[in-house]
Amino acid sequence: MSTSRRKLLQLASIAGGTLAAGAAPLGSADDPAALLAVFAKRQTVRRYKPDPVPEEHLLKILDAARRGPTCMNQQPWTFLVVRDKAKIDAMKKRTLDLVAKFVSADKKEAALHFTEGYFTAPVYVVVLVDTGCPCTGYAQRHDGPIAAGYLMLAARAFGYGTAYLTDGIPEQVTREVLAIPSQYQRICITPIGVPDHWPPQVPKRMLEEMAAYETLEGHPALKALPYNP
Amino acid sequence: MSTSRRKLLQLASIAGGTLAAGAAPLGSADDPAALLAVFAKRQTVRRYKPDPVPEEHLLKILDAARRGPTCMNQQPWTFLVVRDKAKIDAMKKRTLDLVAKFVSADKKEAALHFTEGYFTAPVYVVVLVDTGCPCTGYAQRHDGPIAAGYLMLAARAFGYGTAYLTDGIPEQVTREVLAIPSQYQRICITPIGVPDHWPPQVPKRMLEEMAAYETLEGHPALKALPYNP
């Protein structure tokens, strides 16, 4: 069987599965605990093992990404999957060149090591929105980021790390190396892979500082709160 | 026990649970299928039953919302929870007045009925970002929408419907009725509740039309694809 034929069959099986399941509401037998645990376990991962991500996992992760809310059902997403080592190395070289150029001498070595870690994953997904869609502003400000967020959560469910990178791998780098036409607006790029290690949990604000009931009167402003940069 | 004391204990228990779990990676014993099914089952719900959403569920839903990626760990979110019937009715009246004023006569009745459905839920969450955060642009374009998307997914795991409303309940309406200061930027407002019915699955583009491998050359542009408004 050809690769493209196999891919089509995989896609068809995913689509069929989700459509059938989607028609019925979640019954009381479903336990939301499994899902809720995944939210808290998603973390930014900055260095990866070279272990490959099976195509089957990748397709299910992308399938989850496209399930987000989308203005007028426009579904403006394109997921550009990059596994070609030459392309990854080209993005790495350009990004490290920028770090070397703009980071001050005393911080350069650490910054280069940190940034080099982003390029250790076996696969990258550039999350793009097509600005030819009916609601372009919504695609960029809502549909796009939500899809990227869903992608990362689904990847975590499979045990993979991700990183929602914007400045970490500059848009211009991906645009040039991957020849992304101007019609596509980049939301972010994320590595997907087995983490070199799971980083320690980052300190988080208390939920009670974020939830307000009925009114914002007396609600603590963010700038008044302890902040962990 | 006072309400606020009980709420604090609930919050502490949530925080404790997620922190402990978050320290360890998902083991192979975890089955991602339960999570992936929820993505495909999330749908926009436009009319609700009056059944209340227990505080315990709401807190877990908000806890999931704040687990999204966030620029420099700024966590700029405020979740304004509205259950006060007088406030909901005031938002409804103002929104329906706008529909009555701007929708053409032949479509007015249907539009009023459609919009009235948005106000049938027992609870609303206004997802806000505090523009006093270090990366304001990222808060509005990335952190905010992802948190709202996570909220909706978590709500679906509990069996609730949501709707990512922007124009559906105009920002100005929420800002005036709920006295939201200009420092807070609204991302969206969503009802949360038991659906009056689960709507039929909306037609979706095939995943193969969205995934591109290594290059966008030959990738079908969105405007060339069948589109369901």
Res A90: pLDDT: 98
Q: Which residues of B touch A155 (CB under 8 A)?
A: none
Written as six digits, the tokens of A112 are: 């280069």
Distance of alpha carbon A158 from alpha carbon A42, whole angstroms: 11
pLDDT at A202 over 80: yes
pLDDT at B13 over 90: no
Q: Determine the average pLDDT of the residues in A136-148.
A: 97
ipTM of the complex model: 0.87
Which range (A2-16, A130-144, B23-37, B212-226) has the least confidence? Answer: A2-16
Nearest to B81 among A64, A164, A211 (CB): A211
pLDDT at B18 over 70: no
Written as six digits, the tokens of A135 are: 């609601």
pLDDT at A127 over 70: yes
Nearest to A35 among B24, B34, B148 (CB): B34
Q: What is the mean pLDDT of chain B?
A: 87
Predicted confidence band of residue B224 (pLDDT cuts 50, 70, 90): low
Distance of alpha carbon A167 from alpha carbon A169, whole angstroms: 5
Measured torsion, CA atoms of residues A205, A208, A210, A214, in degrees rounded to the nearest 10: -170
Q: Which of A4, A7, A75 should be substituted to probe chain B, the one whose Cβ sees the most B Cβ atoms within 10 Å?
A: A75
Res A117: pLDDT: 98
Contact B22 A41 (CB under 8 A): yes
Nearest-by-CA chain A residue for B77: A210
Q: Which residues of B touch A192 (CB under 8 A)?
A: none
Q: Determine the average pLDDT of the residues in A171-182.
A: 97
- Assign B189 to helix, strand or coil: strand
Which range (A21-30, B117-126, B197-206) has the least confidence? Answer: A21-30
Res B222: pLDDT: 75
- Give the domains, in start order, of chain A with CATH numbers: 43-199 (3.40.109.10)
Q: Which is higher by pLDDT, B27 or A76?
A: A76
Distance of alpha carbon B98 from alpha carbon B88, whole angstroms: 16
* Tens digits of residue pLDDT in B41-59: 999 999 999 999 999 999 9
Contact B146 A145 (CB under 8 A): yes
Q: Determine the average pLDDT of the residues in B1-16.
A: 41
Res B32: pLDDT: 83
CA distances from residue B190 to B16, B99, B121 in whole angstroms, order as listed: 27, 19, 9
Res B130: pLDDT: 94
Q: Determine the average pLDDT of the residues in B99-113.
A: 97
Which range (A33-42, A105-114, B8-17, B101-110) has the least confidence? Answer: B8-17
The whole-angstrom distance between B109's CA and the closest CA on chain A is 21
pLDDT at B2 over 80: no
Nearest to A201 among B19, B141, B222 (CB): B19
What amino acid is encoded at B170 in this protein?
P
Res A196: pLDDT: 97
Q: What is the mean pLDDT of chain A?
A: 87
* Tens digits of residue pLDDT in B55-78: 999 999 999 999 999 999 999 999
Predicted confidence band of residue A216 (pLDDT cuts 50, 70, 90): very high
Which range (A30-44, A96-110, B163-177) has the least confidence? Answer: A30-44
pLDDT at B22 over 70: no
Q: Which residues of B touch A217 (CB under 8 A)?
A: 179
Contact B80 A212 (CB under 8 A): yes
Distance of alpha carbon B21 from alpha carbon B162, whole angstroms: 27
What amino acid is encoded at A141 in this protein?
R
Res A32: pLDDT: 83
Q: What percent of chain A has pLDDT over 70?
A: 83
pLDDT at B15 over 80: no
Q: Determine the average pLDDT of the residues in A156-166.
A: 97
Res A4: pLDDT: 45
Q: Which residues of B touch A85 (CB under 8 A)?
A: none
* Tens digits of residue pLDDT in B169-192: 999 999 999 999 999 999 999 999
